[in-house]
Structure 1
């Protein structure tokens, strides 16, 4: 399975890097391919290292203005002209999406993927990995959107909230590989 992971390229605290490495190791050991933003910095590097060390494949999709930060060794490294092309290619190359901790770029990617799913432009499972309660506020907001009629489909059809990497991967394997 090709799993797209949206996440931060920032250097982060152990409470985020340790669970990220655990998820990456699980992904690699299961023989899955990581499809990610291609960066060799911060949390992106932690996840790519974990997947590669565990035997998984790496497909990076960087953008021209960040190409200098791209991982030098990957199974594939694609460079796009802009962020819109990057997001489209990340989605096209994946069977499922996992949103890990991140900043505005990660949130932008996540909301676009969810909006496309809401409008049936893709049917790929989306997991929001809520490491250390990072997305508790967003989870509450999504529930409010559903309760107040802002979502035309059930929240459970839009996104799966996982508290750890084991739950995220189990959900994806059950959903995609059945």
Structure 2
């Protein structure tokens, strides 16, 4: 399975890096491919290292203004003109999407992925990996959107909230018919 992971390129503390490393190991040991932003820093690097060290493949999708920070030993690296093209390439190359902790860029990617799913542009499974309760507030906001009629379909049809990497992987493999 090609799993697109959207996450931070920032250097973060162990409460975020340790669960990311665990999830990366699951991707690699499962023989899956990480499709990610291609960065050699922060959580993106943690994910790439963990996947590669455990036998998985790496497909990076960087953007011209960040290409100097791209991982040199990825199995494949695509460089796009802009962030919009990058998001489109990440989604196009993925069988499933996992949104991990991140800043405004990750939030932008998450909402676009969900909006496209809402409109039937894709039907790929989407997981919000809620490490250390990072997305509790967003989950509450999404629930309010559903409760007050802002979502045309149930929240559970758009996104699965996983508390850890094992839960995320179980959901993805079940969605892909691998369990």
TM-score grouping bracket, smaller chain normalisation: over 0.9
Aligned to 1:98, what secondary structure does the other structure show?
Answer: strand
Residues 33-65 of structure 1 show CA distances to partners (whole Å, capped at 9, x for unaligned) of 000000000110000000000000000000000
What is aligned with 2:26? 26
Aligned to 2:117, what secondary structure does the other structure show?
Answer: helix
What is aligned with 2:89? 89
What is aligned with 1:63? 63
Cα distance in 2 between the residues matched to 1:105 and 1:177: 31
Residues 2-42 of structure 1 show CA distances to partners (whole Å, capped at 9, x for unaligned) of 00000000000100000000000011000000000000001
- Provide the aligned C-alpha RMSD in A: 0.5
Cα distance in 1 between the residues matched to 2:74 and 2:177: 25
Aligned to 2:175, what secondary structure does the other structure show?
Answer: helix
Q: CA deviation at 1:96?
A: 0.2
What is aligned with 1:155? 155
Cα distance in 2 between the residues matched to 1:127 and 1:145: 18
Structure 1 runs (4+) deviating above 2 angstroms are: none
1:131-170 alignment runs, 5 A limit: 131-170=131-170
Aligned to 2:122, what secondary structure does the other structure show?
Answer: coil
What is aligned with 1:124? 124
What is aligned with 1:177? 177
TM-score, normalisation: structure 1: 0.99
Cα distance in 2 between the residues matched to 1:43 and 1:172: 21
- Answering whether residue 115 of structure 2 is matched by residue 115 of structure 1, we say yes
- Answering whether residue 15 of structure 2 is matched by residue 8 of structure 1, we say no
Q: CA deviation at 1:177?
A: 2.7
Q: CA deviation at 1:176?
A: 1.5
Give aligned pairs, total.
178
TM-score, normalisation: structure 2: 0.99
Cα distance in 2 between the residues matched to 1:112 and 1:42: 23
